[in-house]
Amino acid sequence: MEALRKIMIAKELSTVMDIPDNMQSIHVEVIVLPISNVAIKPKVNVGLVKRLKGSLNKYANANLQALEKKAFELAVEENYKRGKYSVKNNS
């Protein structure tokens, strides 16, 4: 049976499990052992998604948000005008 072993600071594990405050800054040994050979579909870490939701709001530019809806159309139009794309007539 294959196993993985790593020594790390306990705080680094906080994204996958709750770590007590008194263990946050100590080194721990992490051993990963498979419980079966059948691969399973990974689950979304809902807690992580909730913590990250809205975390980039401070970088949002209200003036550019209106352009986001038409960004693809504007990019294609700009590239077409520059001659990057050409229309082929198959008639």
Note whether 27 and 7 are within 8 A (CB): yes
Question: What does the pLDDT look like over 29-68, one tens digit per residue?
Answer: 999 998 887 777 888 888 888 888 888 888 888 788 777 8
Question: What does the pLDDT look like over 8-32, one tens digit per residue?
Answer: 999 999 888 898 999 989 999 999 9
CA separation for the pair 80, 75 (Å, rounded): 8
pLDDT band, very low/low/confident/very high, at 90 (cuts 50, 70, 90): low
pLDDT higher than 70, residue 91:
no
pLDDT higher than 70, residue 89:
no
CA separation for the pair 34, 4 (Å, rounded): 9
